[in-house]
Amino acid sequence: MPEARGAIRKIASERIEILYNTAVKVYSSDQGLAGEYIRLLLEIGRHYKVKIPKEMAARICKKCQLPLVEGGNLEIRVLAKQRRRIYRCKSCGSVNSLAFRKGSV
């Protein structure tokens, strides 16, 4: 049975990636549909106990659950001394911060 559980989680993580990429593509034409894709992605992650990658999770608004798209609803600030990237959603104004290592900006 553990082999089957691993296969199910692998399929779930693949679906999460597909849903995220689709949500980013669709965001410019239909924000509501993009939000639904993100909600489905989060639900799959919770149901199958699959962690969403940090970079992907940082580009999902925690408040309005929309994909954060550069040039759309995302504002990025880099604080070099503190080694942090600040992501701000222009739709709802929520802020998310992510640390980075030196040289990986």
Q: Which tens digits make up the pLDDT trace of 19-45?
A: 999 999 999 999 999 999 999 999 999
Q: Which tens digits make up the pLDDT trace of 6-17?
A: 899 999 999 999
Domain covering 2-99 assigned CATH 3.30.1360.120 in the classification: no
Taken in order 103, 82, 57, 46, the sign of the CA dihedral is positive
First to last CA, the chain: 41
Binned at pLDDT 50, 70 and 90, residue 49 comes out as very high
> 96, exposed or middle or buried, with CB in 10 Å at 0-12, 13-18, 19+?
middle
pTM of the model: 0.84
Does residue 104 register a pLDDT over 80?
no
- The confidence score (pLDDT) of residue 95 equals 92
**What percentage of the chain has pLDDT greater than the value 70?**
96
Q: In the numeric block, which tokens belong to residue 41?
A: 């992605």
| DSSP 8-class letter at 70 | B
Stretch (H or E) spanning 39: helix 31-47
Mean pLDDT confidence for 57-70: 92
3-state secondary structure of 1: coil
